[in-house]
Structure 1
């Protein structure tokens, strides 16, 4: 609250003393399924046109769901949202939009505190979201248990996908496939 008062009175807020800015966010990772095979089959020029279309759709959908597109990964995206419900709905919309242009994507989401690193992000939550995506099947939006708890009552449906070890992360993680 002191930071809020400081910002109101002075017009700015000092960064925390450790130099890190942590914010609660839902992180979305997507990946185009079989992208390398598709590049080989289509050729560079046709693939890049399709990828440009994908990137435009991703940018529009992330913006439309009040998210922030952090970066393109070459065959997917990383985005953050201040609400897990909007993040899940965006991921589902991305999956549908990808189908319409002849692509299949997989998506993974996790909610937690992230470290702001200029225009990039970091921290355990980012790694967890990437690992959730890695467990996702083609045309599937997979979320962690945390996300399901946070969107209770939001009209989203989830189907159990079991308990998984996520590379480099402690313990087992319960994952769920999202559906609108």
Structure 2
């Protein structure tokens, strides 16, 4: 895992503070860890993190941190994040690992090598609404990438824990994507 500087974060976010955030999470990781045992599971998770980190970096993003069995990454554009998410789902580092991915674009505050603010919380909640093997994007992110060659499945409206109102979420189809 690469540790990034505040300068690199600022470079990703730009002067406006607008950044696209992507969270990943492995579905049923506790069960998988129990089945495989701690040493095998730790190796499998590290291998997964390495693959995610490489894909994120190949798409001009930075992994900000790992979170148990998941990651948080930041990208300069929504398109970079979408391409990384598709790459992660296609990488299939382990046939049993079903990764849920959520992406949101918004204003975030850089704090000591991390991000804070509602945009971070929303990106995490979008991820929580995804199923394993699914990429969900917020309406803000969809608007930014809709002019490119992406296909979306049926929109869904969801409540996101701790965030007022209902939110339109869009499953990004990754199996047939460019």
Q: TM-score range by the shorter chain?
A: 0.7 to 0.9
Provide the residue aligned with 1:160 in structure 2.
154
TM-score (norm 2): 0.86
The count of corresponding residues between Structure 1 and Structure 2 is 159
Instruction: Extract unaligned runs of 5+ from structure 1.
Output: 1-20
What is the TM-score with the length of structure 1 in the denominator? Answer: 0.85
How far apart, in 2, do the equivalents of 1:79 and 1:175 lie?
19
Match of 1:53 in 2: 47
* Correspondence for 1:104: 98
Distance 2:151 2:62 in 1: 24
Of 138, 142, 145, which residue of structure 2 is paired with 1:144? 138
User: How many Å separate the matches in 1 of 2:160 and 2:125?
Assistant: 6
SS of the equivalent of 1:85 reads helix
Q: Look up the SS of the partner of 2:34 in the other structure.
A: helix
CA distance in 2, matches of 1:22, 1:31: 28
Q: Which runs of 5+ in 2 are unaligned?
A: 1-14
Residue pair 2:125, 2:160 contacting (<8 A) in 1 also: yes
Please list, as runs of the form range in 1=range in 2, the aligned pairs for 1:11-22 lying within 5 A after superposition: none
SS state at 2:164 partner: coil
User: 2:9 aligned with 1:32, yes or no?
Assistant: no
Runs of 4+ in structure 1 displaced over 6 angstroms?
none
Return the alpha-carbon distance in structure 1 between the equivalents of residues 155 and 147 of structure 2.
20
Q: Which residue of 2 aligns with 1:7?
A: none
Partner of residue 62, structure 1: 56
CA offsets per residue over residues 21-40 of structure 1, 9 Å max, x none? 86100110000111100110
Asked whether the equivalents of residues 48 and 93 of structure 2 are also in contact (C-alpha less than 8 Å), the reply is no
RMSD (Å) for aligned C-alpha atoms: 1.2
SS in 2 for 1:109: strand
Q: Provide the rounded CA distance (Å) in 2 between the counterparts of 1:108 and 1:134.
A: 8
Between the aligned partners of 1:81 and 1:92, the Cα distance in structure 2 is 14
Q: Secondary structure at the match of 1:171?
A: strand
Counterparts of residues 88-99 of structure 1 (less than 5 Å): 88-97=82-91, 99=92
